[in-house]
Structure 1
Amino acid sequence: MTKKETLNPDNPVSLVIWHYYNGVQKTAFDELVAEFNETEGLKKGIAVEAFSQGNVDDLERKVMESVTKKIGSEPMPDMFAAYADNAYQIDKLGFATDISEYLTLEEIGEYIDSYIQEGRFGDGDEIKIFPTAKATEIMMLNKTDWDKFASATGASLDDLRTWEGVAETAKKYYEWTDALTLTPDDGKAFFGRDAMANYMLVGSKQLGSEMFSVKDGQVSLTIDDAVMKRLWDNFYIPYINGYYKAVGKFRSDDAKTGEIIALVCSTSGIAYFPDTVVINDNTEYNIEALTLPLPNFENTLCYAVQQGAGMVVVKSDKIRERASVEFLEWFTEKDKNISFCMQSGYIPVKKESIDIKAMEEFLSNNKDNKAADKLQAALPTVIGQMQTYELYTTKAFEHGTDAREILEKSLLEKSKIDREKVIKLLKEGRTREEAVKQFATDENFNEWLMGLKKDLADVIK
């Protein structure tokens, strides 16, 4: 079936997209949809309507309600944004189109290979997710407060290249801020991170172990005790000491209130790193942001997460499926994709679009975007990391979302609970060393690890 046979401008096709973009991301997406409708869409007979369904969880819920025809649910859209685990579930129910039917091998080869591979479920050549915009993780630093600390202590940015270095630097920062007052043990936390599941999954990969391996749709769970101990030592131990912290919904919120000065976040979160710090609503000052590569463990290969939803084309008829792919191909053309990604903090998906000069040129010409300067300053680090790190994501599998949720909460919640216990002991007159010693034990680690193993095994069995 040729494109000419399926698309007719005299008999236009109306398509509906559901997504989770909000704020600047929604604005950027809507502008491109409108441009498509007025140009390529008008020429080919395709009209697209895009609707935000809230956040990612809201979107996943509404798609599943549509698929299962829950009372009061809306009809299925023609396309919807989805992460791999959610797309996998929809595909198992028979609703995801194999988009490779509408793309030549040459067209498929224009996209970054790992992005295409993420959309392949099983061992076949079918593609169930169209890559539209991706992200990875980087470190963001409040350079203004860092400079004061580094000047006083000799701390080096090179120390932030490894997780061991981050932990040691955080200890030094806590002790330095503690010494600035007469009150004992009132030092400040240095670091926090978004997406704890990424710390667990990518950290394991950095340390040579893959937690979830998937073959023929079957998942195998591998939890290496020594790897888990490295993850524990470089997050839990600093956390219960007060060196790390997590208070707000995102760590950029904590940077805004001065709770921390360094964080790991998605590249799509660069624009949200604060320009000012506001402490107790009465002290406010401007800060400069600095973007650094994602830390790795000492003496390991460099891995960073590959993340970001793509678009699933819903099975319908050949005309609607073809029209959907036509829109997505247009949306991922170099100039359009760079436009969307540079306004929303994502990374373009085609090999030719990883062009730092073209990205910088777009940002230079769009200074009305208040995050443009921040994104432009971050680009060399982001692109450099993409070119030197191995990008990693787990293959989709049954209950993958549930497994990830366990990893998201397990170590962080344990760290928070035990930190509160340490604080209670401090108030009772114990020294920090005495208080922490009660929790920094092999028995405590093993108890947590046993619980994690059981929870994950129960989910994927």
Structure 2
Amino acid sequence: MKKLLSLILTALLTVSMFVGCSSNNDASDKDVSKNDTSKNDEKDTSTKDIIEIEFWHSASGVKGEATDQVAADFNATVGKEKGIFVKSVYQGNDVVAKLKTVSQANDVKNFPDVGQIYGSGIPAVMKMDPLVTVDEMFAKGDASISKNDLHPSFVRAFEYKNEMIGMPFNNSTILLYYNKDHFEEVGLDPEQPPTTIAELASATSKLMKLKGNKVDRYGLNVAIRRYQLSNFIGGQGEYNFYGDNEGGRTGQMTKVTFGEDGSLKKYLTEWDKLVKTGGYKPIEDNINEEFATGICSMAIMSTSRISTIHGLMGEDANFGVAYLPKVDAADKGGVSVGGGSLCLFDKGDSDKLNAAWEFIQYAASPEAQAKYSIATGYVAANLKAYDLPEMKSHLESHPEYQVAINQLNASNPNVQEPFDLIPWELDAIIKDTMAEFGSGNKTIDEAHDYIVEECNKKLAAYNRANN
């Protein structure tokens, strides 16, 4: 299957790790400090014939420390038992870019054994010859976990043509954050947050504050980019697709379809109600800090920022999280999965490949996923993690995380971030146009037509150049 994928997708370019919540959504969650990986650099040399594998990741700060700890815990348990040592290596924001460099040089020996690959990066790694899909490893049998242990939406997030490419690892979804004190101040029920964009607009108009002619407090802050838009498009009806071939998951995506099916116009029509309140901020400067300090009353952000907001607001934090508001009250699609997966690469050493598979299975185990979720705010991919006492205790004391889990459970697995080949280019079109629209400088029709036409021009040009 790997070879077939390589032929089908040989034209795919590498993508940046984050254009949008497999993209976007988690990119700005990262702490700027680099994590210390020294805890993983010391092997137990008393064990002979240790197999060392290299794990490239893009997590920094608190999330980086937690990622390194997964490797350290493996080394101290399964690795110690089986003679495997995982070296955890931070590779900056974009592991895929580093992989492209070694792939173009055909430098297989310098590939990692395991790489952390975000959803938007899956199309790029599928053309890399050393890739071994997770389904290929499952097919060998004797796995310590089952695909049935994993949340269906998380499995779908990293599938192409129904083959699972990477193992879900650091995953999130998108939520509405709201300041409960502000809600009470203006007479809104803090236990009844907005459920539709129309209700969001109504709340925004009440929450905003003016000082003279300038906004002193915004009702809502979020920049609509590729990832955010894909959620508003995908959630419509039972579920909806952003582009042809099920958003690039059953074949190469050649065009966006949200123009021809009317879903973009429907979304923009509702979002315009929000724009007209005057209390919506369409660009993100320091969204975490601005929400935490009360500069904006509501924000749309990743689940992985819950711990960040708690840290910024301190013990007196009084905020809630809610499902992403729907375009229409009757919509049932829900939201997509953001974040990344773990992919395997075969460097010509079967022992290393099998050792890497041991590590990936460990990282997806209930115990490892529960610990990682508690430490980072990501949503555990392994359903059995929620049966563990420590996870139950965590969710009881931090009910915000349960909201994220409930939202994913209520979502259709077909609602996913698209495999759109050139996500960074489409993201730029959507981000810039929605900023103009959000500032009142483009009409519904102007924004709609520009996004559809420009996205399809970019996709057509890419496909012509790479056939």
TM-score by length of 1: 0.78
Q: 1:327 to 1:306 in 2, by over 3 A?
A: same
Paired with 1:200 and 1:446, the residues of 2 have a C-alpha distance of: 16
The residue aligned with 2:319 is 289
Alignment of 1:323-402 (within 5 A): 323-355=355-387, 358-361=390-393, 376-391=398-413, 392-402=415-425
The residue aligned with 1:230 is 266
Q: Describe the superposition over 1:357-402 as per-residue Cα deviations: whole angstroms up to 9, x where unpaired.
A: 54143578xxxxxxxx6xx131332222222233421352432443
Aligned residue for 2:176, secondary structure, equals: strand
Q: 1:352 to 1:45 in 2, by over 3 A?
A: same
Aligned residue for 1:16, secondary structure, equals: strand
1:445 equivalent to 2:467? Answer no
1:137 corresponds to which letter in structure 2?
I
Aligned residue for 1:390, secondary structure, equals: coil
Q: Describe the superposition over 1:91-122 as per-residue Cα deviations: whole angstroms up to 9, x where unpaired.
A: 21323112223223872222223322333323
Paired with 1:409 and 1:38, the residues of 2 have a C-alpha distance of: 48
1:454 offset after TM fit, Å?
A: 1.9
Paired with 1:314 and 1:232, the residues of 2 have a C-alpha distance of: 42
Aligned residue for 2:279, secondary structure, equals: coil
Q: Describe the superposition over 1:125-155 as per-residue Cα deviations: whole angstroms up to 9, x where unpaired.
A: 4x321112311111111212222122xxx55
The residue aligned with 1:133 is 170
Paired with 1:112 and 1:89, the residues of 2 have a C-alpha distance of: 24
1:286 offset after TM fit, Å?
A: 4.9
- The higher relative CO (CA closer than 8 Å, separation ≥ 6) is in 2
Alignment of 1:55-66 (within 5 A): 55=93, 58-66=94-102
1:48 equivalent to 2:86? Answer yes
Q: 1:11 to 1:274 in 2, by over 3 A?
A: closer
Paired with 2:386 and 2:225, the residues of 1 have a C-alpha distance of: 27
The residue aligned with 1:206 is 235
Q: Describe the superposition over 1:274-320 as per-residue Cα deviations: whole angstroms up to 9, x where unpaired.
A: 5667xxxxxx9954121222211222114112111001111223222
Alignment of 1:17-416 (within 5 A): 17-55=55-93, 58-69=94-105, 75-103=110-138, 104=141, 107-122=146-161, 125=163, 127-150=164-187, 154=188, 157-158=191-192, 160-174=194-208, 177-178=209-210, 183=212, 186=215, 188-193=217-222, 196-208=225-237, 209-214=240-245, 215-224=250-259, 226-239=262-275, 241-246=277-282, 248-273=284-309, 286-297=316-327, 298-317=329-348, 318-355=350-387, 358-361=390-393, 376-391=398-413, 392-416=415-439
Paired with 2:365 and 2:430, the residues of 1 have a C-alpha distance of: 36
The residue aligned with 1:456 is 455
Do 1:133 and 1:308's aligned partners in 2 also have CA atoms closer than 8 Å? yes
Paired with 2:109 and 2:60, the residues of 1 have a C-alpha distance of: 20
Paired with 2:165 and 2:256, the residues of 1 have a C-alpha distance of: 24
Do 1:213 and 1:394's aligned partners in 2 also have CA atoms closer than 8 Å? no
Paired with 1:184 and 1:416, the residues of 2 have a C-alpha distance of: 15
Q: Describe the superposition over 1:251-289 as per-residue Cα deviations: whole angstroms up to 9, x where unpaired.
A: 223213432111111111111225667xxxxxx995412
1:296 corresponds to which letter in structure 2?
K
Do 1:84 and 1:129's aligned partners in 2 also have CA atoms closer than 8 Å? no
Do 1:132 and 1:311's aligned partners in 2 also have CA atoms closer than 8 Å? yes
Identity within the alignment, %: 15
Q: 1:184 to 1:100 in 2, by over 3 A?
A: closer
Q: 1:321 to 1:457 in 2, by over 3 A?
A: same
* 110-119 or 336-345, larger mean C-alpha shift: 110-119
1:52 corresponds to which letter in structure 2?
Y
Paired with 1:252 and 1:407, the residues of 2 have a C-alpha distance of: 22
Quote the RMSD (CA, aligned, Å): 3.0
Unpaired runs of 5+ residues, structure 1, are 1-8, 278-283, 365-372, 419-438
